[in-house]
Amino acid sequence: MMNSWEESGYQFLPMAIHPDINRLFGDKLKDKTMSESTHAERHLLVHPGKKINLSEIDSTATPGTTSSKAELDQAVAKLHVQLEELQGRLWAESKRSLLMVLQALDTGGKDGTIRRVFGGVNPQGVDVSGFRAPIGEELKHDFLWRIYSKLPAKGEIGIFNRSHYEDVVATKVLSLIDSHEQERRINTIKAFESNLANSGTTIIKIFLHISKDEQKKRLQERIDIPEKNWKFSSADLETRKLWTPYMETYSSVISQTSFDFAPWYVVPARHKWYRDWAIVNLLVDTITKMNPQYPPPEPNLSKVVIK
């Protein structure tokens, strides 16, 4: 295990607090968790150009906070109010969009993250897309063909539950492409994401990091708990056998594709309460920096009288 997160190629990224937060919550926010939200550097940014090794990152860590689960659950509830307001502004402005890419190995928590993080926002302004292995018509086109139609419209938050990164990770691990083709696709992804950013789409990419032991526990729960049986697939066991190649390939790809205009964040996801808190903060910080504004009212609106 490395001595520090910084040595792994990460940077603690300070999270901003929305300027209206005092209006929303007043002095009640002068507590431990909100102090951490303001000053603690907690989300883990992969520095562009830095090499990381996921096997050396502690998936049980809670960087940037010493708060308890109960305290962070309360903080998430408050941050959800911020996220809802910010999303409302983004939707009303309808000039830019946000794309959040979620990647993880099986049982990493992608579905739960989407459910917990976006549970309180306006569904009109959120679009969730999942990408499994390409089939049928998708196989007749370039690997990005199916991605384009799912990009968020102006004003929307788009969520990719898996993404175009499957086409440079899973395909390489399964020997469906060679190193040359992987490199070509990585270069294509860089150009693709750069174009999106230049066109008004802010991109954040999140890898939910769990250990192999934690995956074993979660897979077993899918077998033992009847309500989770539907989630289990025998294919997950075959993928699990390739844990090390997947970790190595993800480490390499994330290292090569964390750009200033489309950064990667690795979120320790063993503790779901920490995962949710970290990602909500990241979203609030990102949209705050975008600073969406409500459109100006119609001229002379104040003089309009409803009869």
Within 10 Å of residue 277's Cβ, how many Cβ atoms?
30
Residue 226 has pLDDT above 50, yes or no: yes
Position 302 confidence tier, pLDDT thresholds 50, 70, 90? confident
Q: What would you measure as the largest C-alpha separation in the chain, in angstroms?
A: 71
Cβ atoms of residues 117 and 227 within 8 Å: no
Give per-residue pLDDT as tens, 95-114: 999 999 999 999 999 999 99
Cβ atoms of residues 161 and 111 within 8 Å: yes
Q: Read off the pLDDT of each residue in 197-226 and give the average, rounded to a whole number.
A: 97
What pLDDT does residue 93 have? 97
Residue 42 has pLDDT above 70, yes or no: no
CATH number of 6-209+241-293: 3.40.50.300
Beta strands at 10-14 and 41-46: parallel, antiparallel or unpaired = antiparallel
Two structure tokens written together for 212 = 């192999």
Mean pLDDT of the chain: 88
Consecutive H or E run containing 98: strand 97-103
Q: What is the DSSP string of 185-230?
A: HHHHHHHHHHHHHHTTEEEEEEEEE--HHHHHHHHHHHHHSGGGGG
Q: What is the CA radius of gyration of the chain?
A: 20
Position 34 confidence tier, pLDDT thresholds 50, 70, 90? low
Position 18 confidence tier, pLDDT thresholds 50, 70, 90? very low
Residue 65 has pLDDT above 90, yes or no: no
Give per-residue pLDDT as tens, 265-288: 999 999 999 999 999 999 999 999
Give per-residue pLDDT as tens, 133-149: 999 999 999 999 999 99
By mean pLDDT, which of 36-50, 55-69, 115-129 is the weakest?
36-50
Two structure tokens written together for 11 = 């940077």
